[in-house]
């Protein structure tokens, strides 16, 4: 890695290019800027963290977000089939959507960059923001549980629209539960096939 090489060789000033141009007060892009940033003095005392990245939190957060979005869509649209629900879900769990949510939280101001955001491409930064948002949701889950993640997600999604927030949070009951609010166990005695399933319940410990 270039940074490690420069640090280990103790290069403090670059001889690449024109020094007057290199050390001008304005931001200069290109190789000279890269050399200037990489030639900064390394820390004299290194501290190794047990957590080297947020990929595990990102993995957890991604699964949690997909689960929560699936639950809400399932109850919000009882008239939609599996294919239509999947289409809606894809739109809500794409990276570009997570990027916009991360920007709503100003998450870009709290990310530690390797060489500074001015050297990151727009697409790379957006991808990092989406991953960071997923990792943040994973960390919140470890601290507060799924209900807290759900509550925070609803605020992030509809922070400017109370009506949509209420619709998202106040899920309607499942149609079968509305039809039989006190359970449908009484139907077992009326349907022979359901009687056979009671043995299956016993076998699996229900």
pLDDT at residue 41, as a whole number: 59
Model confidence band, residue 195 (pLDDT cutoffs 50, 70, 90) = confident
What span, in angstroms and rounded, lies between the C-alpha atoms of 152 and 76? 18
* DSSP letters spanning the chain: -HHHHHHHTT--S--SS-HHHHT-SS---SHHHHHHHHTSPPPSS----S---SHHHHHHHHHHHHHHHHHHHHHH-TT--HHHHHHHHHHHSSHHHHHHHHHHTTGGGGPPPSS-GGGS-HHHHHHHHHHHHHHHHHHHHHHH-HHHHHHHHHHHHTTT-HHHHHHHHSPPPPHHHHH-TT-SGGGGGG-HHHHHHHHHHHHHT-
Q: Rounded to an integer, what is the distance from CA 165 to the centroid of its chain?
A: 20
Confidence at 47, pLDDT banded by 50, 70, 90: low
pLDDT in tens, 8-36: 554 455 555 555 554 555 444 555 655 66
Place of tokens 């089939």: 81
- Among residues 108, 102, 84, which one has the least CA distance to residue 157? 102
CB 2 within 8 A of CB 38: yes
For 83-109, what is each residue's pLDDT tens digit?
A: 999 999 999 999 999 999 999 999 888
Average pLDDT over residues 167-192: 82
Whether the predicted pLDDT of 37 surpasses 70: no
Residue 189: the pLDDT is 83
Helix crossing, 95-104 with 122-144: angle to 10°?
70
Please report the domains of the chain, with CATH numbers, ordered by start residue: 2-38 (no CATH), 55-172 (1.10.1520.10), 178-206 (no CATH)
Measured distance between the N- and C-terminal CA atoms of the chain, rounded to whole angstroms: 57
With 90 as the cut, is the pLDDT of residue 110 above it?
A: no
Tens of pLDDT, residues 52-75: 678 899 999 999 999 999 999 999
| 113-162 confidence digits (pLDDT tens) | 666 555 567 788 888 899 999 999 999 999 999 999 999 999 898 877 88
Which residue's structure tokens are 């509305």?
A: 178
Kindly tell me if the per-residue pLDDT of 194 is higher than 70: yes
* pTM assigned to the model: 0.65
């Amino acid at each position: 890695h270039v940074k490690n090489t420069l640090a280990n060789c103790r290069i403090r000033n670059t001889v690449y290019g024109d020094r007057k141009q290199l050390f001008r007060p304005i931001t200069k892009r290109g190789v000279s800027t890269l050399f200037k940033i990489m030639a900064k003095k390394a820390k004299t005392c290194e501290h190794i963290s047990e957590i080297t990245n947020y990929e595990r939190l990102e993995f957890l957060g991604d699964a949690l977000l997909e689960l929560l979005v699936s639950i809400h869509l399932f109850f919000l649209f009882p008239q939609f089939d599996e294919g239509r629900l999947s289409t809606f879900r894809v739109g809500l769990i794409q990276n570009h959507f997570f990027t916009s949510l991360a920007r709503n939280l100003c998450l870009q101001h709290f990310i530690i960059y390797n060489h500074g955001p001015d050297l990151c491409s727009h697409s790379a930064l957006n991808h990092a923001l989406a991953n960071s948002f997923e990792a943040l949701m994973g960390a919140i889950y470890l601290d507060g549980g799924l209900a807290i993640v759900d509550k925070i997600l609803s605020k992030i999604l509809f922070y400017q629209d109370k009506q949509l927030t209420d619709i998202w949070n106040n899920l309607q009951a499942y149609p079968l539960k509305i039809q039989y609010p006190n359970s449908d166990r009484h139907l077992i005695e009326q349907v022979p096939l359901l009687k056979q399933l009671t043995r299956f319940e016993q076998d699996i410990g229900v």
